[in-house]
Amino acid sequence: MKLLKDLFLTNRLFTAIGIILLLFIVSFIAGGLYIIPEIIFFFLLAAFFADVILLFGKTKGMTGERTLADKLSNGDENEIVIKLRCLYPFKVSLRVFDETPHQFQRRDVEFNLKLKPNETQSINYFLRPVKRGEYSFGAVNSLVTSPLGLASRKFSFSADKNVPVYPSYIQLRKYELLAIHNRLAETGIKKIRRIGHNQEFELIKEYTTGDDFRTVNWEATARKSKLMINQYQDDRSQQVYSLIDKGRAMQMPFNGMSLLDYAINASLVISNVAIKKSDRAGLLTFQHQMGTYLKAGNLSNQMATIQKVLFNQKTAFLETDYSALYASVRRSISQRSLLLLFTNFESVQGLKRQLPYLLAMNKLHLLVVIFFENSELTELINKKAVELKDMYRQAVAEKFSYDKKLIVQELKKHGVQCILTLPENLTVNTINKYLELKARNLI
């Protein structure tokens, strides 16, 4: 039974059978002998059984495994590696199928390769999840064919593995490494000149290239007979909270991923940047009612806690209650903090309904409202109109696009910081805004 379960017939065998049947038909029509097709048939039968013996004569003809990370990064390309080794004493052909999680809806994860005796090969491909949660991988199935090519034997490896998909830790590490090597400008992070100096003195040190001449300590320079400067430390332990709207407006998809997941990924990165800058990072999620509150901190386990909290965020697809957000902020956050509000407004009227709560929060803290530009509207506006209905669509698109600009003006008029950004540029623009506010000593 095991043999029948793992035995597959190849196209080459069916082609040979078709040719033999054709020869029988021709012989029947011609009224001749059937000896030639019979000889070919028995030869094919013998070759088929020989092929089966070659494939199943060795108990373990192939070994293999699938290698991937313990958790996948949401919105990023995650590498999957399949390693295969041939234990047959002859060259084999393989068709490899990986049973990917149903969330990907992919039926094309198929590879063809050839392996020599005792040869090992690796197959590398990438998967991009667009939702957080638990993903279940099936088996890696390999159909092995001998040089005769009449039958195939199935081998299965690495069956049934569950892998969680977390907010983008690949993006987190990327910005962290670039920050360590002072290469953030490569990703679009602007170099922002610091306005003024913090008056909290730290130490006197020898001048090095790039230091500000205005901080030269002339008395220490005279004593040491070399150029010495004063070094001041930045403001530290400022609180940075990411306020994440999980309401209906944040479920709009962009490039397969919801605006909520873009906001969650950006919150993870900005929290890490804030902690690296010696500030304290916290979270607050909300929709029709308040969600999770995580007090700002910068201890060693804070990032792990933030990642765990963000992984478990879900939506009820209901309207957002900003009055509940204001009440929660007033009750939970007593120290003046930077509030990064990830939300989305589609009309000026929608903003004005919530504006009193935003202004009230801005009086207590430094509020930055972050909302999204619709790139599909821009594409529609720039597309050449062919018919009258295309002109109507462009007019509506221009109206919605203009509303976004009016929202920015309305917020700035009331002294509220804001960012209008494409989802793909959200992380970079948020970091830029944070660094700008730090440079201006607003937090």
The tens digit of pLDDT for each residue in 36-78 reads 778 888 898 999 999 999 999 888 899 999 999 999 999 999 9
Q: How many angstroms separate the CA atoms of 35 and 338, rounded?
A: 91
At 364, list the tokens.
């207590």
**What pTM does this model have?**
0.80
* pLDDT, tens digit, 9 for 90 and up, residues 308-336: 999 989 888 889 999 999 999 999 999 99
Phi, psi dihedral angles at 176 (to 5 degrees):
-65, -45
Average pLDDT, the chain: 87
Give the confidence band of 112 by pLDDT, cuts at 50, 70, 90: very high
- The DSSP code for 258 is E
| 115-155 pLDDT, tens digit each | 999 999 999 999 999 999 999 999 999 999 999 999 999 99
For residues 149 and 50, give the distance between their C-alpha atoms in angstroms, rounded to a whole number: 11
Amino acid identity at 369: V
Domain ranges of the chain: 1-166, 169-193+235-439, 201-232
Please give the CATH topology (third level) of the domain spanning 1-166.
Immunoglobulin-like (2.60.40)
The highest-level CATH class for domain 169-193+235-439 is alpha beta
Kindly tell me if the per-residue pLDDT of 283 is higher than 90. yes
pLDDT band at residue 170 using 50, 70 and 90 as cut-offs: confident
Q: How many residues does the chain have?
A: 443
Residue type, position 77, single letter? E
Instruction: Output the CA–CA distances (angstroms, integers) from residue 336 to 199, 233, 236, 320, 362, in the order listed.
Output: 20, 20, 13, 24, 10
Give me the phi and psi of 216, to 5 degrees please: -65, 130
- Beta-bridged to residue 143, according to DSSP, are 95, 154
Half-sphere exposure of residue 91: CA atoms within 13 angstroms, side-chain side: 5
Share of the chain above pLDDT 70, in %: 91
Residue given tokens 């003024």 in the structure block: 196
Measured distance CA(272)–CA(303) in Å, rounded:
7
Residue 214 is given by DSSP the state G
Average of per-residue pLDDT across 367-391: 83
- Report how far apart the first and last C-alpha atoms of the chain are (Å, whole number): 72
